[in-house]
Structure 1
Amino acid sequence: MSKAWSSKQVVPDVVDDAPPEKLTVKYPEVTVNEGNIAKPKQVKSPPEVSWTVEGDALYTICMTDPDAPSRKKPSAREWHHWLVVNIPGNSVDKGDTLSEYVGAGPPQGTGLHRYVILVYKQPGKINPSEKKITNRQGQGRGKFCIRKFAEKYNLGQPIAGNFFEAEFDDYVPKLHQQLG
């Protein structure tokens, strides 16, 4: 993994160590590459993701923003944008969605936010107790901690990951309106 994980402080803000594999994350207009900048309007739909899979293992994927509402004052750290468990192989659409995908939506004037996408190999099928959240709900997404979620379900360390940065653009007010 590149030094971007530590230079952009994803290590230690979100994970203890950079994952051993670089997660492939492709949106129609931009490919994520360890801290590159993407516009919220480019990442409004779920990306295509892929990682190395093992046999019939199940996986968890999470996209989280440790900079909510701003990097200087992250009082809502982490705000999770996507959470799917029990994914067979790379088939995210066949997993159990706990939080539907919501793209980057940094508030105006808060600068760049980091959006971290992590994949964990599960020890087996998990039966999560978390309430399901639609892509029209902002409630229940703030003050999340992927470390605590991973610990709760014995996921260990992420096996793959990637991240990008984004700041406010003209799509963000539409997203905030969608979230109520």
Structure 2
Amino acid sequence: MAEPPSLRERTRRAVHAEITSTAMRLFRENGFDATTVEAIAAAAGISRRSFFHYFGSKEDLVMGDTEALGQSVKAALEARPEDENAWAAIRAAFEELQAQHGSIDERFEMARLYHHAPSLRARHLEKHLRWQELLAPDIQRRLGLPASATPDPRARAFVAAALACLDAAVDAWFESGGKADPGKLFDEAVATLRA
């Protein structure tokens, strides 16, 4: 049985959640780009320095720990059956993202922020480039490509296309007011690429 988190860790999580909640309220009220780190810190009752103890940037506050999330998607991909085709495996691995992004309302709020904040879009694209390197080796194997020291460009292109399909599905889901099925939208985007 795992040990419960320490008091220090529980306190850290509570402060992290409070800063996030405060920031999301300010983003809704003022917009992402117009909300400064200083405004978030002041509204949360902490110093600017304390803010950076919890988050590397304002974008990180919204996007979370993209490296850790990428590692969890990679682990989910690698845990898929060995003989599962690359599209089915990556789709199942992407479901890990939904599991870690909270409620439908929270996911919709995140999509709204991405939709309206160019700086978040830019950070999102940086994340995609890192994830291509993380996910490409398993995809390379699933595509039957020979192993190599660096990921094969075809495997990186596959991951880039899958991430583009995911983004298109999330955008369409947001534009539907959260009514469309994001899984179906992803499948439709992939089917178009494979046609």
Same fold (TM over 0.5): no
Relative CO higher for 1 or 2, CA cutoff 8 Å, sep ≥ 6?
1
More strand as a share of residues:
1
Q: TM-score, normalised by structure 2?
A: 0.23
| Structure with max Cα Rg | 2
**Which is helix-richer, 1 or 2?**
2
